[in-house]
Amino acid sequence: MKELTKAEEEIMQLLWKLEQSTVAGLLEKMKSPKPAYNTVSTIVRILENKGFVTYKKVGRGHEYYPLIKKDKYTKFSLSKIMNNYFDGSVKSMLSFFVNKNDMSVQELEEILSEINKKED
């Protein structure tokens, strides 16, 4: 799987949320300052070439939708971070987040609960 640029990831986040959209629809949901229509259109075409997005023709335009699921790309991204910054260790990565983010006891208990569910 290819890595996304910040701009591509922003478009993908919107498409994952909306499930399908036109370029105009994406632009409408973007925060200000908004990029030009042609910029968004170009990014969508790049995403299509990378295999992240496809489209169906609707009237004279196109409606785009994601081919790659958000959880699949999330797993890919986290794996890359884990390998590049934590020597591939889940334990090291979790320890980092626990220590650097001042997690509450309740948050830690919720994480332990999720871990215990996986063991069942």
Note whether 37 and 22 are within 8 A (CB): no
Whether the per-residue pLDDT at 53 is higher than 90: the answer is: yes
Predicted model pTM: 0.82
Q: For residue 120, what pLDDT is reported?
A: 63
Residue from 68, 67, 55, 70 nearest 22 by CA: 55
pLDDT-derived band at 10 (thresholds 50, 70, 90) equals: very high
Contacts of 94 (CB under 8 A, 6+ apart): 111
Q: For residue 105, what pLDDT is reported?
A: 85
Q: For residue 118, what pLDDT is reported?
A: 79
Q: What is the CATH number of domain 6-66?
A: 1.10.10.10
Q: For residue 94, what pLDDT is reported?
A: 84
Residue ranges covered by each domain of the chain: 6-66, 70-119
Task: Give pLDDT tens digits for 57-81.
Answer: 999 999 999 999 999 999 999 999 9
Average pLDDT of the chain? 93
Q: For residue 8, what pLDDT is reported?
A: 98
Task: Give pLDDT tens digits for 12-46.
Answer: 999 999 999 999 999 999 999 999 999 999 999 99
Residue from 37, 50, 61 nearest 9 by CA: 50
φ, ψ dihedrals at 65, nearest 5°: -150, 155
